[in-house]
Amino acid sequence: MEIAQAIKPLAQSNDAALWLRQISAILRLEFRKNFWGKRALLMYLLAAVPVAMFAALALYPETARDIRRGSESDVIFANLFEGLILRTVVFFGCAWVFMNLFRGEIVDKSLHYYFLAPVRREVLVLGKYLSGLLASVILFGASTLVSLLFFYSARGYLDNLFASGKLGQAVTYVLLSVLACFGYGAMFLVIGLFFRNPIFPGLFVYGWEWLNFLLPPVLKKISIIHYLHTLAPVPVPEGPFATVTESTPAWISIPSLLIFTALVLVLASIRIRQMEVRYGSE
């Protein structure tokens, strides 16, 4: 009995090391598919939309002068960031990447290769999720950062970014894009696992996120955009029809998003353990 108790921690350690190696292998394989595969084109196009728009603002001198004179330009960028980058670019980009992590394998009739491999399905979920997360964070984080640089260039801040006090603001915007990838990625991974046709659930979530400002305070908190909205460095007015809700402080918002992500991944792990591949019914 004593020998068995002494060996058990070693076995658990070996299992953990094996799972880490498997997660690393899946992550590398899936990252190449997510970042360079045939489905990556839409992700690149989405990420290019805000960059092209803010580049146009910065490169045309007359437009740049108008932005520089405007006293509300920071609020305008905050609105564009939340409405264009978070609710549209990151939302649909994560929907495309994470829904295809398993649905794409089923369409390509290749998921059974993973299921036949000697790897736990929970490890497969985590490896695939991390691969999608890494690709989306790199691309949409870079899109946010480059958009900010063009915007600050138009405002005349870029030459003296540290003295203007905008560096912390820029870091916050990039971190919000990263947090959005965490939350939306986990949610769309589960949608792709539970629904044969994920388009309608995805549209429902999109409507819920866009109409969040009209929801009662309790329902507002059952959304990702609520927590991202409260973390914004520049307050974004929600309009005269919005229901009044107290802002959620950062020490609650950030852990809430991470806990939500963890719970959704647990749900995905439970689902995939019961999943059977039936290509003929797809």
Written as six digits, the tokens of 6 are 């002494």
Residue-level pLDDT at 282: 52
Long-range contact pairs involving 197-201 (C-beta distance under 8 Å, separation at least 24): 198/99, 198/103
In angstroms, the Cα distances linking 218 to 88, 92, 140, 214, 215 are 24, 25, 30, 11, 8
pLDDT tens digits in sequence order for the chain, 282 residues long = 332 343 244 344 467 788 888 888 899 988 988 888 778 889 999 999 999 988 887 777 666 666 655 556 778 888 889 999 999 999 999 999 999 998 888 888 888 888 888 888 899 999 999 999 999 999 999 999 999 888 877 766 665 555 556 778 889 999 999 999 999 999 999 998 888 888 899 999 999 998 888 888 888 888 899 899 889 888 777 766 667 677 788 888 899 999 999 999 999 999 988 887 765 555
C-alpha–C-alpha distance, residues 277 and 47, integer Å: 33
If we measure between CA atoms, which residue out of 42, 72, 116 comes closest to residue 234? 72
CA distance 282 to 280: 6
pLDDT for residue 9: 44
Give residue 209's identity as a one-letter amino acid code: E
Q: How many CB atoms lie within 10 A of CB 195?
A: 14
Q: What is the pLDDT of residue 67?
A: 61
How far is Cα of residue 190 from the mean position of the Cα atoms in its chain? 13
Tell me which residue of 225, 266, 40 sits closest to 131, measured CA to CA.
40
Q: With left for phi above 0 and alpha for psi between -120 and 50, is residue 109 left, alpha or beta?
A: left
CA distance linking residue 28 with residue 16, whole number of Å = 18
State how far the Cα of 262 lies from the Cα of 55, in Å rounded to an integer: 37
Q: How far is CA 209 from CA 87, 88, 194, in A?
A: 7, 10, 20
CB within 8 Å of 81: residues ≥ 6 apart: 144, 173, 176, 232
pLDDT value, residue 8 = 41
Q: Measure the CA–CA gap between 46 and 281, rounded to whole angstroms.
A: 31
Residue position matching structure tokens 């002068």:
65
Closest CA to 189 of 97, 89, 90: 97
Q: Which residue has the tokens 């963890």?
A: 262
For residue 266, give every residue at least 6 positions away whose Cβ sits within 8 Å of its Cβ, in sequence order, or none.
Answer: none
For the chain, domain boundaries: 23-281
